[in-house]
Amino acid sequence: MKPKDKPRVERQMPYVRDSFWRGRDWVDLADMRRGALEWCTNVAGVRHHRSMEGASPLSVFNTLEAPALFGLPAMTFEVATWSYPKVAPDCHVKVGKALYSVPWRFIGANVDARCGDKTVEVFVDGCVVKTWARIERGKQTDWADFPPEKVAFFMRTPQWCLKRAAELGSSVHELVEGLLSDGALYHLRAAQGVVGLADKYGATRLDAACHRAIEVGDPEYRTVRGILKAGTEHDGAEVHNAPNAPAHLHGPGSLFDHLSPEEVAG
């Protein structure tokens, strides 16, 4: 090894090397730290230093430097990373490999995101607008971040609709389950609408209407609503005779009852 390649401790700290390290053995790191503290206090700290006009480093530290020191921070220093994500239409920002929701009023804006060891903080104009526990992957959502009209929609998830439908009746559950089995998100509004009819018409009438809609082969929200409006949920024959009932409530077998056999054949 060339002289210029020697470690700095070899070139600049021969006193530490010769006085502290040389000839000593250490059991472990804790033993080495205890030895270093004792050496600094009782050996290196009390020696008379020529550059200090004979004063000891420890006396100079206690007299001049110690009173000027600040106390250690309550928390250890945290290395954080910053990013500048844009708030998506679904109220989330991407920080690292995870998504975090922020208040909806910031949709479309770029925000400052600080990612620490345990938390993720979102800033707008220097003010914290959201704080989350950090996750490595996945999605963190606070429904309070969404507009009020959106919260009602998203909170009534497919699972909620199925649970509520089961409470309202077996036919309600069967119809809602059928809706959600073919594109849950696409038919979510229809499923929400079906279970919501119970608020106006009651569980008993709704269950009967769902049974009738399934029976006529049209298990849709509009059918259930039409049956309830016409009041024909309890007797299938009443559907055929109700003059104001929509055509889709009559069932496939009675759609052409008003036509003569010749007209049907033609």
How do residues 89-138 score in pLDDT, each as one tens digit? 889 999 999 999 999 999 999 999 999 999 999 999 999 999 999 999 99
- Residue 203: what pLDDT? 94
Token pair, residue 205, equals 């009438």
Q: How many residues does the chain have?
A: 266
Q: 118: closest CA among 98, 136, 101? A: 136
The residue whose two tokens read 């038919």 is: 187
Residues 102 and 100: their CA atoms lie apart, in Å, by 7
Q: What is the 3-state secondary structure (H, E, C) of 91-137?
A: CEEEECCEEEECCHHHCCCECEEEECCCEEEEEECCEEEEEEECCCC
Give the pLDDT score at 240. Answer: 45
Output the pLDDT for position 8: 42
* pLDDT in the model for residue 14: 83
Sign of torsion over alpha carbons 120, 122, 128, 131: negative
Pick the closest to residue 219 from 257, 256, 182 (CA basis).
182
pLDDT (0 to 100) of residue 151: 66
Tell me the pTM.
Answer: 0.42
Q: Using 70 as the pLDDT threshold, list the residues of the chain that sit under it.
A: 1-12, 149, 151-155, 184-185, 235-266
> Looking at residue 239, what is its pLDDT?
46
